[in-house]
Every structure is written in structure tokens, then in C-alpha cells.
Amino acid sequence: MKRVVVFLALLFSLFVLTGCFSMVKNNGTGPTPTPEVTEDPDAGKYKEYVNEEYSFKAMYPSDWTISYSVQA
């Protein structure tokens, strides 16, 4: 039983060390930051619908039309 515990402890430490070494290979630089977005790429594709009664805002494609008629 004691040998099994020692074996599992060594195996666990091996996984921890390989994880640490794989981080060192990356030189600690981490992920590259994304460039700052200066404008909305989809600005011309969508319009904003605002319902002031319920304080609701939604974006919809600019080629859609909104009908305000009430169906009975």
C-alpha cells in the first residue's frame, strides 16, 4: 500500500513538473493582446430598435423592416 502511495505521489509530481516546463518553453510571454478596435465592423449591417415603454433595446439587420401594427 505504501509503495502505491509513493508511486502515485511521484506520478503526480511528474505531471506538475511537465506542466511547469511547458510554461517555461513559452518564455512567459503569455497570449498576445488583441489590437484595440477603433470602429464597429458591423456598424452598417445593423440598426437599433428601442422600446421606451419597456426600456428594451435590440439590434436587427438593416435590411429588415419593422411593422408596428397590432394583430388582433
Is pTM beyond 0.75 here? no
Per the listing, cell 430598435 goes with 49
Q: Which helix (H) or strand (E) holds 47?
A: strand 46-51
Could you list the pLDDT tens digit for every one of the 72 residues in the chain?
Answer: 888 888 888 877 777 766 655 555 555 566 667 777 667 666 778 888 888 888 888 888 888 887 777 776
Q: How far apart are CA 40 and CA 32, in angstroms?
A: 21
